[in-house]
Amino acid sequence: MIIHTRHPMLSIGQQAPDFTLLDDQGKPWNLAMHRGTKMVLYFYPKDFSYGCTKEVCSLRDNASIYTQNHITVVGISYDTHESHHAFKEAHHLAFTLVSDINKEDSKRYGADRSIIS
């Protein structure tokens, strides 16, 4: 299996592109409002899928490491804010999930991967 990225990845030290997306409460969440904040910004394909659930639970279970180091965790996927809200409640997540339904911002970050066998 070969994984191809259609868009270039960000370079080390490059400023993260700004975006405004709906959070798990249905409210606009804007990256620019968090400039200067240490952040784990992670992209994942689907709420409630096996791999994504393991990933998010690992982040949740290690939350004290992020909190102690003043690091904000934000997850981005293509799911709706309603799905994110249910996913967040089901797994007792204390961090924000945002919806990139059109995949535009994921593309800008190089996180819209397609798998080719």
Tens digit of pLDDT for each residue in 19-70?
A: 999 999 999 999 999 999 999 999 998 999 998 999 999 999 999 999 999 9
Which helix (H) or strand (E) is 115 found in, with range? strand 113-116
Q: Per-residue confidence at 114, pLDDT binned at 50, 70, 90?
A: low
Which residues are marked as active site? 52
**Which tens digits make up the pLDDT trace of 71-103?**
999 999 999 999 999 999 999 999 999 999 999
- For residue 45, give Cα distances in angstroms to 14, 51, 66, 104: 24, 9, 22, 14
